[in-house]
Amino acid sequence: MPKITVPLGPQHPALKEPGNFMLLLEGEEIVDATLRLGYNHRGIEKAAEARNFVQATYLIERVCGICSHSHATCYVTNVENIAGLEIPQRAKAIRVVIGELERIHSHLLWLGVAAHEIGFDTLFMYSWRDREYVMDALEALSGNRVHYSMNTIGGVRRDISKEAHEDILKKLDILEERTNYYIHLATQEPTLHARTKGVGALPKEEAIRRDACGPLLRASGVARDVRKDDPYLIYDQLDFKVITSDACDVFGRLYVRVFEILESIKILRQVLSNLPEGPFAVKTPFKIPAGESVTRYEAPRGEDIHYVKADGGPNPARVKVRAPTLANFESVSYMLTGDQLADAPLIIAAIDPCFSCTDRATIVASGKQSVQSLKDLRTYGIEFYKKKGIDFTKVK
């Protein structure tokens, strides 16, 4: 049978962000896969060097749209370590609350994407609908759905009010019920089994050798979780399990993620029922002394590691971001080889790839482009909706 090369990406319906996978096919079987990444390189690491420490917090938060809190927490922890700040317990607890809500949100999003890759659109619609509960909770806490901007050097920017607190607990009950439904579905639906079991095999030894991390590694039977191994914030005082699966395939990854949602709900209940009193931020020092720090954080997709170096000046001298997806790419070509073309999108989706995280950082020196100021855009937007009869100026 002749071999054909099928390109998957950079633009492809299966990929939500650009990345290129050249698949060499023999019939339906993949015999080789070559990766090309970097389409989303935006120069964030370079740009961070041109901003001061506080500004860089918000820039780093924009490394990723899903795990924005993970990156921001990782970065501010580094800066706090350099400055020798001890942040209040309440701030730590609030960071955990946002972090765990973000994990639930990310895993539900993944469930939907994976379901779409195997053509199970009903599950996709259901899980994304339920994800709205988490999004609403996050919005109630932080005022934003995606970039929460909760972190600041020395603590968090908003407190959790009593009402928001009760609201989240109510939403958690609904989410727990829905998650149990997904667990039921994952264990009962035959086509889901047929499409995920034995697909994208990654044995334990290969997973360790290739430095995989996060749910991908845990689904290969390795109980490695930064929250347990190298506890940060208040994770050492919390009771939770590290979910692992010995399935070593996509079904294992599905299993790990769905059960992790339940663990996150457990963590959230513990933290919220026992929220430490006191201030939620300390004063940021005017000057960050010279020094360097490296921090690990368990983002929804796996281990996130940041390195920050300060030289005593107003701006960081170097910010290095290693997102979990980059660590997992080394396993992708291994998992793809020998599998069916039909499984390729699912295998790629199963690591929950986030190309913007991975590629981060280039300032595109393109020619002329029409740039509207934010103010113009805002007026334009208001006028546009006024014509449609939506007028916020009348809202009291």
Partner 1 sequence: MEMIKELLIQLFEILIYPGLLFLFVAALLADWIDRKLYARMQNRQGPPWYQPLADFVKLISKETIIPKHAVGKHLFRVLPYLAISAVVVCIFFIPISGSLALMSFQGDLIAAAYLLSIPTMCFFLIGWTSSSPYSAVGAMRVLTQFFAYEVPMILVLIGPAIVAGSWRIEDIAYYYSANPSMMFVNILGFIVALITMQGKLERVPFDIPHAETEIVGGVFTEYSGKLYGFIKLAISIEMIVVAALFNAVFMGGSLGLEGFLGFLLFCFKVLIIILISAIIRSAMARVRIEQMINFCWRVLVPIAMLQLIISIIARAFHG
Partner 2 sequence: MQNNFEHLLENVETRLPRRIWATPKGDAHETIKKLHEEAAFDHLCTITGLENGDNFEVLYHLSQKDTGILLTLRLVVPIAKPDIKTISDIFPSAVWYERELKDLLGINVEGLPKGNRYPLPEDWPQDSHPLRKNWKPEETK
Report the SS3 class of residue 316. Answer: strand
257: amino acid identity, one letter:
R
User: Is the separation of the CB atoms in 292 and 309 below 8 Å?
Assistant: yes
User: Is the separation of the CB atoms in 202 and 331 below 8 Å?
Assistant: yes
- Judged by CB under 8 A, which stretch of 12-20, 80-88, 138-146, 350-358 contacts partner 1? 12-20
In this chain, which of 191, 274, 372, 379 binds partner 1, going by CB under 8 A? 191
Nearer to partner 2, 198 or 291 (CB): 291
In this chain, which of 9, 45, 251, 310 binds partner 2, going by CB under 8 A? 45
363 binds partner 2 (CB under 8 A): yes
119 binds partner 1 (CB under 8 A): yes
Angle of the 162-188 helix axis to the 121-142 helix axis, nearest 10: 160
243: amino acid identity, one letter:
I
Q: How far is the CB of 371 from partner 2 (least distance, A)?
A: 9
Angle at 70 between CA 256 and CA 46, to 5 degrees: 130
Nearer to partner 1, 1 or 364 (CB): 1
122 binds partner 1 (CB under 8 A): yes
Residues of this chain, 278-317, that bind partner 1 according to CB under 8 A: none
Alpha carbons 94 and 281: distance in angstroms, whole number: 11
In this chain, which of 26, 211, 246, 391 binds partner 2, going by CB under 8 A? 211
13 binds partner 1 (CB under 8 A): yes
Q: E-assigned strands of the chain? A: 3-8, 20-26, 29-36, 151-152, 155-156, 291-299, 302-310, 316-322
83 binds partner 2 (CB under 8 A): no
Nearer to partner 2, 69 or 210 (CB): 210
- Judged by CB under 8 A, which stretch of 23-31, 100-108, 306-314, 370-378 contacts partner 1? 23-31
221 binds partner 2 (CB under 8 A): no
In eight-state DSSP terms, residue 320 is: E
317 binds partner 2 (CB under 8 A): yes
Nearer to partner 2, 231 or 279 (CB): 231
Nearer to partner 1, 36 or 386 (CB): 36
In this chain, which of 55, 230, 242, 282 binds partner 2, going by CB under 8 A? 230
Alpha carbons 214 and 235: distance in angstroms, whole number: 16
- Maximum pairwise Cα distance, the chain: 70
In this chain, which of 16, 41, 62, 158 binds partner 2, going by CB under 8 A? 41
User: Is the separation of the CB atoms in 72 and 151 below 8 Å?
Assistant: yes
In eight-state DSSP terms, residue 302 is: E
Nearer to partner 1, 132 or 176 (CB): 132
Report the SS3 class of residue 14. Answer: coil
